[in-house]
Amino acid sequence: MSTPVGADLALRLVGVTKDFGGLRAVDRVALEVRPGERRALIGPNGAGKTTLFNLISGSLPVSAGSITLFGRDVTNTSAHRRAAQGLARTFQVTNLFPDLTVLENALLAIQAHTASRFAMLRPMGVFAELQARARATLESVGLAGVTDAVVRNLSHGEQRQLEIALALAGRPRVLLLDEPTAGLSPAESRLMAGLLGRLDPAITVLMIEHDMDIALELSARVTVLHYGCVIADGSRDEVKADPQVREIYLGA
Amino acid sequence: MIRRRALAAAIVVGVLAGLGPALPAYPLTLITQALIFGILAMSLDVLLGYTGLPSLGQAAYFGVAAYAVALLATERQVGLVGCAAAGIALAAVTAAVFGVVAIRARGTYFLMITLALGMVVWGLAFRWVSLTKGDNGVSGVPRPELGTLSLSAPLPFFYFALVTAAVSWALLGLLVTSPFGLGLKGIRGSESRMEALGYNVWLHKYLAFVIAGVFAGIAGVLWAYYNGFVGPTDVQLVTSVEALLMTALGGPGTLIGPVLGAGIIVFLKNFVSVYTKRWLLILGAVYIGVILFAPRGVVGAFRRQRR
Amino acid sequence: MRPDFWVVQTFNGLSYGALLFLLASGLSLIFGVMRIVNMAHGSYFMLGGYLGLTVALRTRSFAMSVLAATVAIALIGMAMERFFLRRLRGQDLGQVLMTIGFALIFQDLALLIWGGDPYNLPVPAALSGGLRLGGAVFPIYRIFIVGVAIAVGLGLWLLLDRTRAGAMIRAAVDDGEMAQGVGINVPQISLAVFGLGAGLAALGGVIGAGFLGVYPGADFEVLPYAFVVVIVGGLGSLPGAMAGSLLVGLLDNFGKALFPELAYFTLFAPMALILAIRPTGLFGRG
């Protein structure tokens, strides 16, 4: 199998490193994700997974290394510009707009990439297309019934669904999911897994997930992070059989 | 819901307009004052209530516009349109310049920087005597003329202020219910989420800052004509502080709340001043009371009940 | 400009900076531990001056007035924190608004008690007069102020760096939640730091009253200076407060001497420049 060239890859990380003072949270991580791929990022707590997401999304600057998005170097690009280029993410700790309604949350996500976001003299209700798209997105994640609820009154499960909806609203090309099932009951996790399984196959998905079953169910390839380093990277079965991985997860 | 609010506002405006001729001069001038500060408080609400930016420097743009009007009207005999345009433009430019420095900051830093910037304007008003007449201020600002109609008497000026306030409220109302306004509410809720969604958060905050400055300037223009006198006290910290209290008391993020807050404070101030000189003491106590017992303000608490 | 103009102005800037340090160090510490901006800080400064004045007139003792002012205002500060600010834990804006309320109350009370006239604090003979060096005269009182600031700076550094209490304060500044988690009584630290900050401001006020005088409006006049020092130096940083007060003291003095019409402007330009480069201040932690 030939190594893909940069431009063919959805996401490419080379030597990505993040230091916090004396602490190296992410250590020379290399990652190559093809378009449409489903990749799971697993590792014990503190392995640097969310930090890596923050580096990829641009909310944290790298200390070293480069990040390429569909062939374009985004290492020094701001977070919002990366989002405009098709990168979307969810947050491990739910990061929604708590005082706004579910519909308003979705509308914010939908209008983000449109010129309408600067419209100042026409009320929101006039923008029928945005409203329709927002409702459609909410329906696709199963939140059609609670559009007028204020987000802080939603159940945790519904909030996690909204997290996904916000990320999907902008029609992203690369989706970073940070522990989508965090805090969900087994039943809710099942529903979430179903939702994620139905995602548009054209979207490239990189997912941090603690629930090993769901992670391996939804992803064809797995990258394992440990103390900020990639210690295994391959197909499900390859990673399951890797002795280092077994040691970390099943104990010596 | 917008229609309901617009209807309620139209009724209030109508009632005030109708009451106008029936009221004696003193309460009429108080209501005029309340309307002027209502515009200032609304400008602050855009920043504080909707975007989550607590500014203690709105008096800067208020004062810059007021001084512009006062000086142009007294020294160059410029008419209403010219003065108003100059005042608002100057307020906008000041906000545009100050915004570049202030918007980089968040929360507490933002508060302190806007306070310091407000003091810069006060310092200039106080010290640049050759321009601003320093402590003496600029007096003798004549009431303007709208065509053939003179606004000298309390009633015509009241209508002038009422119309300006109503139009300001309508424009700001459109702003906060527009997609841009939703964006501001989003910023207030979670800046990181907005960045992740693709918004240039700095730009949105900056635009809100300049818009707030413009409307503070509109209030300043009215104030110069209303008061006939503009001095450093109009630009002092206490003015920004009073604007903040009006917004907090009325209800941040409700737009009409701050106008109500302005009314309460103006009436309280004038009523209290009849009996005691201890206005600031009472204002301070009201501040503390509001924070402890009505943190969402009057209108905010009312809306909360109805949800 | 004669050479001693520069020397004298530099010295004046230094002594004003020294005063600002007393004011700003407390503000910076309060923010560091409690994350709130104390809008009543200028009030502590002014009340310190007024109280010191009253004590000085009654007891004819400069030392007594300094001590009484510092302790009394420290206690008032602690009462403010304990009975009012603590109720709004976590509500940053609410706490700031509350301190504004207190600032207004203090201002009016001062007007009520001491009236509208400016006063000068009587200064002991030992500290009056000047020192002749070269062609210039350096007022001894100003040298005294610099001395006090240096002593306080050293004392604070020793406290923070060498004592257990100081370590607890630094821990609380670094990460309040974590500090609470390892058993540090953060509310008690907050109370103590608030008292310390208020006392320092009052110390600045009573000593400052010796050459600036004390007058209505001094509270809101000095507050932006404290803010600029702390913004430029970085909130929560003691070296920042030192650097900031020096910078602001010098800039303000030279500004007033060379461009009297542009008062606060000479302050604003460098502040804007610094913030443009480093939004969290020179030594700030953001």
Q: Kindly state whether residue C273 falls inside one of the protein's structural domains.
A: no
Interface contact B108-C235, CB threshold 8 A: yes
Amino acid of residue C262: L
The predicted pLDDT at position B307 comes to 45
The predicted pLDDT at position A252 comes to 40
Which residues in chain B are contacts of A88 at CB distance < 8 A?
196-197
Amino acid of residue B201: V
The verdict on C5 touching B (C-beta cutoff 8 Å) is: no
Q: Which residue of A has its CA nearest to B1?
A: A125
The verdict on B97 touching C (C-beta cutoff 8 Å) is: no
Residues of chain B scoring pLDDT < 70: 1, 301-307
Q: Kindly state whether residue A220 falls inside one of the protein's structural domains.
A: yes
Higher pLDDT, B297 or C59: C59
Same domain? B159 vs B254: no
Same domain? B211 vs B70: yes
Same domain? B218 vs B294: no
The verdict on C35 touching B (C-beta cutoff 8 Å) is: yes
Q: Which two tokens stand for residue B169?
A: 């409220």
> Is residue C284 scored above 70 in pLDDT?
no
Nearest-angstrom CA–CA distance, C151 and B61: 42
CB within 8 Å of chain B, chain C residues 166-225 = 220, 223-224
Interface contact B109-C220, CB threshold 8 A: no
- Cα end-to-end span (Å), chain B: 13
Chains that touch A (3 or more CB pairs under 8 A): B
The predicted pLDDT at position C120 comes to 87
Nearest to B245 by CA among B99, B45, B60: B45
Q: Kindly state whether residue A197 falls inside one of the protein's structural domains.
A: no
C near A: at least 3 beta-carbon pairs less than 8 Å apart: no
- Average pLDDT score over residue span C212-230: 87
> Is residue A6 scored above 70 in pLDDT?
no
Nearest-angstrom CA–CA distance, A158 and A134: 16
B near C: at least 3 beta-carbon pairs less than 8 Å apart: yes
Same domain? A74 vs A99: no
Which residues in chain C are contacts of B124 at CB distance < 8 A?
262-265
Same domain? A184 vs A250: yes
Q: Kindly state whether residue C190 falls inside one of the protein's structural domains.
A: yes
> Is residue A134 scored above 80 in pLDDT?
yes
The whole domain housing B279 covers 244-307
Nearest-angstrom CA–CA distance, C92 and C227: 17
Same domain? B137 vs B173: yes
The verdict on C261 touching B (C-beta cutoff 8 Å) is: yes
> Is residue C283 scored above 90 in pLDDT?
no
Q: What CATH number corresponds to the domain at position A240? A: 3.40.50.300
Same domain? B75 vs B115: yes
Q: Kindly state whether residue B10 falls inside one of the protein's structural domains.
A: no
Nearest-angstrom CA–CA distance, A180 and A91: 8
Interface contact B112-C227, CB threshold 8 A: yes
Which of B191, B287, B292, B296 is best to mutate for the C interface (most C CBs within 10 A)?
B287
Res. A215 pLDDT band, cuts 50 70 90? confident
> Is residue C255 scored above 70 in pLDDT?
yes
The predicted pLDDT at position B46 comes to 95
Q: Kindly state whether residue B28 falls inside one of the protein's structural domains.
A: no
Q: Which two tokens stand for residue A167?
A: 């990320």
Q: What mean pLDDT value characterizes chain C? A: 86
Q: Kindly state whether residue A159 falls inside one of the protein's structural domains.
A: yes
Same domain? B215 vs B272: no
Interface contact B185-A59, CB threshold 8 A: no
Same domain? B130 vs B155: yes
The whole domain housing C105 covers 16-216
Q: Kindly state whether residue B148 falls inside one of the protein's structural domains.
A: yes
Same domain? A140 vs A21: no
CB within 8 Å of A210: residues ≥ 6 apart: A42, A179, A181, A182
Q: Give the DSSP H/E element, type plus range, for residue C20.
A: helix C3-34
Higher pLDDT, C281 or A211: A211
Same domain? B231 vs B274: no
Please provide residue A18's backbone torsions phi and psi, each rounded to the nearest 5 degrees. Answer: -135, 120
pLDDT tens-place string over residues C160-210: 888 888 888 888 777 777 888 888 888 888 899 999 999 999 999 999 988
Q: Which residue of C has its CA nearest to B281?
A: C105
Q: Kindly state whether residue A198 falls inside one of the protein's structural domains.
A: no
Which residues in chain A are contacts of B179 at CB distance < 8 A?
107, 111, 116-119, 122, 124, 127, 130
pLDDT tens-place string over residues A56-71: 999 999 999 999 999 9
Interface contact B101-C100, CB threshold 8 A: no
Q: Which of A4-8, B224-228, B270-274, C257-261 has the highest mean pLDDT?
A: B224-228
- Asked if A147 and B233 count as a contact pair (C-beta separation under 8 A), the reply is no
Same domain? B262 vs B288: yes
Nearest to C241 by CA among C207, C211, C212, C281: C281
The predicted pLDDT at position A5 comes to 56
> Is residue A221 scored above 80 in pLDDT?
yes
Q: What is the ipTM of this complex?
A: 0.91
Question: Which residue in B171, B192, B307 is closest to A95 by CB distance?
Answer: B192
The predicted pLDDT at position C232 comes to 83
Least confident residue range of A111-120, B185-194, C3-12: C3-12
The predicted pLDDT at position C202 comes to 95
Higher pLDDT, B295 or C222: C222
Interface contact C100-B54, CB threshold 8 A: no
The verdict on C277 touching B (C-beta cutoff 8 Å) is: no
Chains that touch C (3 or more CB pairs under 8 A): B
Q: How many domains does chain B have?
A: 2
Same domain? A179 vs A63: yes
The predicted pLDDT at position A4 comes to 52
Least confident residue range of B178-182, C12-16, C270-274: C270-274
CB pairs A-B closer than 8 Å: 102
In angstroms, the separation between the Cα of residue B294 and the nearest Cα of chain C is: 11
- Average pLDDT score over residue span A220-240: 89
In three-state secondary structure terms, A177 is: strand
In angstroms, the separation between the Cα of residue C61 and the nearest Cα of chain B is: 32
Q: Kindly state whether residue C283 falls inside one of the protein's structural domains.
A: no
Nearest to B118 by CA among B64, B206, B58, B69: B58
The whole domain housing A162 covers 95-171
Interface contact B284-C100, CB threshold 8 A: yes
The verdict on A173 touching B (C-beta cutoff 8 Å) is: no
Same domain? A222 vs A109: no
What does the H/E/C string look like for C81-96?
A: HHHCHHHHCCCHHHHH
- Asked if B268 and B282 count as a contact pair (C-beta separation under 8 A), the reply is yes
In angstroms, the separation between the Cα of residue B181 and the nearest Cα of chain A is: 7
Which residues in chain B are contacts of A84 at CB distance < 8 A?
198
Interface contact C97-B244, CB threshold 8 A: yes
pLDDT tens-place string over residues B175-196: 999 999 999 999 999 999 999 9
Q: How many domains does chain C have?
A: 1
Same domain? A5 vs A76: yes
Q: Kindly state whether residue A229 falls inside one of the protein's structural domains.
A: yes
Q: Kindly state whether residue C2 falls inside one of the protein's structural domains.
A: no
- Would you give the distance in Å from CA C120 to the centre of its chain? 19
Q: How many domains does chain A have?
A: 2
Same domain? A61 vs A37: yes
Which residues in chain B are contacts of A121 at CB distance < 8 A?
171, 174-175, 178
The verdict on A89 touching B (C-beta cutoff 8 Å) is: yes
Q: In degrees, to the nearest 5, what angle opens at C-alpha A91 toward C-alphas A42 and A148?
A: 140
Question: Which residue in A88, A100, A119 is closest to B178 by CB distance?
Answer: A119
The verdict on A109 touching B (C-beta cutoff 8 Å) is: yes
The verdict on B108 touching C (C-beta cutoff 8 Å) is: yes
Q: Kindly state whether residue B33 falls inside one of the protein's structural domains.
A: no
Q: Kindly state whether residue B288 falls inside one of the protein's structural domains.
A: yes
Nearest-angstrom CA–CA distance, A89 and A206: 9
